[in-house]
Structure 1
Amino acid sequence: MPMNIEDYAMIGDCHTAALIGRDGSIDWLCLPRFDSASTFGALLGTEDHGRWLLAPADPVIETSRSYLGTTFTLVTRWVTESGEVEVTELMPHGDRRADLIRRVRGIRGTVTMRQEVRIRFGYADAMPWVRQVQEKGGHAIIAVAGPDAVVIRGPKLTASNHAHESEFAVSQGDTVDISLTWYPSHRVAPPRPDVDTAIEQTTAWWTDWAASCTHRADRYEDAALRSLLVLRALTHEDTGGIVAAATTSLPEQWGGVRNWDYRFVWLRDASSTLDALLGRGFLSEAATWRRWLLRAIAGDPGDIQIMYGLGG
């Protein structure tokens, strides 16, 4: 079952975003855009609606996690009786791909990690055809359904009850890289991502963006800057459209009727985002959104809508 929304952390590449639970499960991910159908949709249902779990196989004594500085690189540490492990997760920015990277690093002792992948394209409407692939760099599975395909590279996954699972040991000093890449199913799978380069470049991009903030909030600086980072992550890199949220169909209150899809550009919400960004000196994002708006209302500005798609 999905957890409380506050127990999820978001990572993103300014094209889409993933929600990762404290238990190590990616329960929401739409690829390749915010408004694409879900690949992992357990957030709105059960694990059978798609998820990607990566966590210690043994009981966890302690869990801690935080973002790396002013970035969307999420670092989680788990402590078990046998040791301690760290998982670094991010979606690389600027590589024009749809990648998600999970790097596992042993801190002390030896920890057995468990991985469970349930790929469900189209809001869990499409059960993919999955096949094993042996690549030069290691093991991989490729899942295909309709126009969508993903390749997951890392420790060998074995099919079990409509899922793919693996267990692997990580000792102090060991590093295990796992990656997921979406691509159109009629094309050849993209090459394995360079994890070191992806972490370095993505960390630098987010850090540089945050450093360009011209006004500081003093007492609430960390919270204010993290909020600005979220707003930037929800701004589509190509179109300039700003989605109201990375999710859909979450009720404003339990049992309520307001279960909107906020992966659209709601003009009211986007205007508030622009106000926050402009007040901190982020002029480029405002100019890009203005161009998006002019395209969206072109031809009939007198009949402006309350919301538009990412493309206008």
Structure 2
Amino acid sequence: MRTGALVDRDGSIAWMGLPRFDSKAHFTSILGTEKHGLWRIGPVGPDGATPAADRRRYLDDTLILESVWTTEAGTVRVLDFMPTTGDAAQLVRIVQGVAGRVAMRSVLRARTGYGRTTPQLVFGGRRVSARLDEGRFWLDADVHLGARGDDLLSEFAVSEGEQVAFTLSWQPDQTTPPPLPAPAALLRQTTDFWTTWASHCTHTGARRDEVIRSLIVLKALTYEPTGAMVAAPSVSLPEEIGGTRNWSYVYCWLRDSAFAAEVLAEFGYRQEVQDWIGWLTTVIGDDFDNLQIMYGVGGERDLAEEELGWLPGHAGSRPVRIGNGAAGQLQLDVFGEVVCALYKAQQHYPDLAPAVAPLITGLVRCVEKLWREPDEGIWEIRGPRRHFVHSKVMAWAALDRAVRFTEAGHMDGPLEHWRVLRDEIHRDVCEKGYDPQRNTFTQYYGSTELDAAVLHALLSGFLPADDKRAIGTIEAVQRDLSIKGGYLLRYRTSDDGPGVDGLTGHEGTFLIGLGWQTVCLRRIGRTDEAEILTDALLHARNDVGLLSEEWDPHAEQQLGNFPQAFSHTAALLVLAAAPTAVEQDSAEVAVP
């Protein structure tokens, strides 16, 4: 809830920035090579290298990662976690002997500025520090820390019952060291925090473990000091291996965070929703006309996109980008998605109405002025603006929720004007965004292409579930955009130069699209298909239950930034739409 670390199967921290999600990374090997920074802890293999762990898991309902190695000499495990106490980021790594006696090695290679600069190490017994781009890190260990060139090296052995801890702490002050850590106490506190937090989940359906894992991911991606939720803790992980569709997601998108807030409200997490509303109120203020579609976790607006030429990219996928040029785009759908989330939050927690009302009013005023404009849409195209059907439907949704909110007496507004405008947008979409010959809504006005985003548009209530146009669209999207295993492309990319998104190359299937499709199928009564696709979505998780942005069903490979809030939101939408255990039992009893 400050920053994120990606842990590879060989015990390497392959990505981590300090002190925030959107800070410059100091372990960057996932976007290059080991020389760009990592921190590996693991047993010393026969060839001197560290092998991949034999098994990994998160401990129960926590974000504490356990990696276990079984060697000829014995068994050892490493626990990796970030404490949930204190005001600054920490990473604790505890090595525990399970059986026998295992030789271990810790190699910490810090490279500041995304792998570009080697910081000077300052030794003080078992405490070492180094200056970063922001502040300073301090490493404390239970064993001797030595230097090997510019690396920190520790070689030691653990026997059954023994434990060795390493704690990396960040401090804003360059001269004042942090208090000496107590790793065992931090482990207990972190365990208690996550298990208590998970116990508040109100889910009564099946697959509780999957629900809790995705909820924990959303909580972990929340920047606690402000309530902002980042889209992912990584940058530039490719949507196509060797391709150029590589973007930074370490920022708070209004859309993504609205989706996350909706499902958190659905599963009983009021405080997180309230914190998000507070963050939203702060970053927007009264200046709705200058609203951005994304911000830094502290509300920063300047997110200039840059390419880091010294990094070869993950699996050779260049360029590596930080910042995000989409911050300056017009994405009309964002207004509707935020209004829908605010409306849903108030439905779950009625006393939030006073905080929600001014936000809904300000956002709807923007929709009144902008809805006729073309935009870059939900997929943040880099090509010409279009009149995207999904964007128009979400403009309708913003008006629809404002009307309902006003009718319920929660705020004052020009009710009749909003009703008329809502109906006008509805007619506009049905006349210009619907293809009667094929009985489907299209990607944008005047096009023949299809887009998985229209499935999300249908979930807004734009049409009844049994409307032939809704059913036709669900079937057309499934027919045209599904590939192996039922996974769904967001739209068709082009083999002949830039497509509608202005980009070359291809991409994997978008997991949030699969989530929308699954819920749509359940709503129109095709529950058997929905169950199959639910299994497909959960199949795309890695060995510890995490989802990336995309999935390549041919290579059985995760693609895009990781772990992705969008995808975990999709999983939660799907699991929330599934029957509860009581409903399932009733249905099974009713079968003749």
2:10–2:52 CA contact under 8 A, matched in 1: no
- Counterpart of 1:217 in structure 2 is 205
Q: Distance in 1 between matches of 2:285 and 2:184?
A: 43
Query: Are 2:167 and 1:176 equivalent residues in the alignment?
Result: no
Amino acid in structure 2 at the alignment position of 1:17: G
Report the TM-score, using the length of structure 1 for normalisation: 0.90
Which residue matches 1:240? 227
Choose which of 228, 233, 240 in structure 1 pairs with 2:215.
228
Check if 1:303 corresponds to 2:282: no
Once the 2 structures are TM-superposed, how far is the Cα of residue 203 of structure 1 from its aligned partner? 0.7
Residue 235 of structure 2 aligns to a residue in which SS?
A: coil
Which of 143, 163, 175 is the matching residue for 1:187?
A: 175
Whether the 8 Å CA contact 1:146–1:185 is kept in 2: the answer is no
- Distance in 2, matches of 1:125 and 1:52, equals 16
Structure 2 equivalent of residue 10 of structure 1: none
Whether 2:77 is the aligned partner of 1:98: answer no
Alignment of 1:286 onto 2:273: yes
Contact 2:53-2:67 at 8 Å conserved across structures: no
Match of residue 37 from structure 2: 50
RMSD: 1.6
Indicate the residue corresponding to 2:248 in structure 1.
261
User: Counterparts of 1:1-312 in structure 2 under 5 Å?
Assistant: 14-59=1-46, 63-134=54-125, 139-145=126-132, 147-154=134-141, 155-218=143-206, 220-312=207-299
How far 1:185 sits from its partner (Å)? 4.7
> Does the aligned pair in 2 maintain the 1:126–1:145 contact within 8 Å?
no
1:242-298 per-residue CA deviation (whole Å, 9 max, x = no partner) reads 000001111222243332211111111111111211110111111111111111112
Distance in 2 (CA, whole Å) between partners of 1:187 and 1:162 is 21
Deviates more, 1:144-153 or 1:285-294: 144-153
- Highest CA radius of gyration, 1 or 2? 2
| Mapped contact 2:104–2:157 kept (Cα < 8 A) | yes
- Tell me, what secondary structure is at the counterpart of 2:240? coil
Q: How much has 1:305 moved relative to structure 2?
A: 1.5
Q: Report how many residues are paired.
A: 294
Measure the CA separation in 1 of the matches of 2:36 and 2:205.
Answer: 41
Q: Following the alignment from structure 2 to structure 1, what is the Cα–Cα distance between the partners of residues 281 and 256?
A: 17
The offset of 1:44, in angstroms, is 0.9
> Which stretches in structure 2 are left out of the alignment for 5+ residues?
300-592
Cα distance per residue 1:97-131 (max 9 Å; x no partner): 32111111111111000111101122123311112
SS in 1 for 2:124: strand
Are the equivalent residues in 1 in contact too, given 2:112–2:118 (CA < 8 A)? yes
Instruction: Tell me if the contact between 2:10 and 2:53 (Cα under 8 Å) persists in the aligned partners.
Output: no
Q: In proportion to residue count, which structure has more strand?
A: 1
**1:145 Cα deviation after fit:** 4.2
Out of 202-211 and 250-259, give the one that drifted further: 250-259
Counterpart residue identity of residue 44, structure 1? L
Structure 2 contact 92–167 (Cα < 8 Å) conserved: yes
For structure 1, the 5+ residue unaligned runs are 1-13
Matched-pair contact (CA < 8 Å) for 1:231–1:273? yes
Deviation at 1:174, TM superposition (A): 1.1
Secondary structure of 1:105's match?
strand
CA apart distance, 1:62: 6.2
Separation (CA, whole Å) in 2 of partners of 1:108 and 1:146? 41
Superposed displacement of residue 146, structure 1: 5.0
Q: Give the fraction of aligned pairs with identical amino acids, expressed as a percent.
A: 42
For 1:252 and 1:217, locate their aligned partners in 2 and report how far apart those are by CA, in whole Å.
33
Higher helix share: 2
CA deviation after TM superposition for structure 1 residue 65, in Å: 1.4
- TM-score when scaled to structure 2? 0.48
Query: 1:121 corresponds to which letter in structure 2?
Result: T
| Separation (CA, whole Å) in 1 of partners of 2:272 and 2:36 | 35
SS at match of 2:131: strand
Rounded to whole Å, the distance in 2 between the matches of 1:282 and 1:307 is: 23
State the SS of the aligned residue for 2:222: coil
Any runs of at least 4 consecutive aligned residues in structure 1 with deviations exceeding 6 A, and if so which?
Answer: none
Indicate how the Cα distance of structure 1 residues 234 and 62 shifts in structure 2: closer, same or farther if over 3 A, else same: closer
